[in-house]
Amino acid sequence: MTTLTLAKALNEGMRKAMEDDPKVLVMGEDVGKLGGVFRVTDGLQKDFGEDRVIDTPLAESGIIGTAIGLALRGYRPVCEIQFDGFVFPAADQIITQLAKMPLRSLGAIRLPVVVRIPCGGGIGAVEHHSESPEAYFTHTAGLRVVACSNPADAYTMIQQAIRCDDPVVFFEPKRRYWDKAEVDTSPGEGDWPAFDQARVARSGADITLLAYGPMVKTCLEAAAAAEEDGRSVEVVDLRSLNPLDMPAVAESVRRTGRCVVVHEAPVFSGYGAELAARITEECFYSLEAPVLRVGGPSTPYPPSRLEEHYLPDLDRVLDAVDRSFAF
């Protein structure tokens, strides 16, 4: 067991993938000599060379378009979108080409491209640096969409994403980059959880909190606080957003009878809306209360001095728990 930050766990995971497969490439803005703005790719260019860790121009559409061409030639590109809000210039390539080309070719073409996106707020950044764009991509058929929440998952999931023959959008919670935890770097992939498998982060009996990425830690803190009031709260880390591990979600909700979905993105048309609808359809007769949602307001992400009022926190999660028990 090695103690790693989430950022370092991603770095070690990519390093292992590059050692195992010479076709794995890392590319993006400042990923080489600088090691990325969050230093997630630190040292990779020094160890693997400029041909495999490529500093690109500031052109997100060009990064993804080039990665598609490389994948067609047998490579496995790992693209870094420097900040979440920068992904939108690349949306055409991701949605129109990357997601659709395998079906367009009736499976003859595989595009094993990973698009890494540091996501979410909480770092005091300027505009376009604190977005939560996951719903855009979960709505796009043909993409796998995953989100790690802790160093152990970061280490294994980035390797699984790179080995996957499908295009993967990989969300990384940037305000959790510096969180530390023990990571087992010894086992092989056979010992890892399945790539599309949810994880029960905390067992409970009275209510289920569903979260992913940066909100998992917030929900765990809320569950610990709720325990002082005598409430047993289960926290499920979804990990994979598309495909969704619905059997794991349904098992938890049917057992507890109550559910709150938590994410940073705006509540309106957010990913939580899909979760609430699916749970209502499949678990209706087990529910003691409506599925509630906690997220950002329907407004552009605010200046940094206001973000603490925008982001869901422990109190807002506990308020939703109280409202659920009020039914």
> How far is Cα 68 from Cα 34, in angstroms, rounded to an integer?
24
The rounded Cα 319 to chain-centroid distance in angstroms is 25
Backbone angles phi, psi at 263, to 5 degrees: -150, 160
Closest C-alpha to 235, from 255, 261, 258, 208 = 208
Reported as half-sphere exposure (CB side, CA atoms, 13 A), residue 319 has a value of: 8
Q: Which amino acid is at 162?
A: I
> How far is Cα 122 from Cα 256, in angstroms, rounded to an integer?
31
Is the CB of residue 99 less than 8 Å from the CB of residue 143?
A: yes
Where do we find the tokens 């390797």?
A: 159
Active-site annotation holder among 129, 139, 263, 309: 129
DSSP for 122-153, please give it.
-S---TTSS---HHHHHTSTT-EEEE--SHHH
Angle, vertex CA 148, rays to CA 58 and CA 153, nearest 5: 125
Angle, vertex CA 37, rays to CA 33 and CA 42, nearest 5: 45
Q: What token pair was written down for 165?
A: 């023959």
Active-site residue flag, 129: yes
Is the CB of residue 295 less than 8 Å from the CB of residue 264?
A: yes
193 burial level (CB within 10 Å; 0-12, 13-18, 19+): middle
Q: What token pair was written down for 68?
A: 């598609």
Residues recognised as catalytic: 129
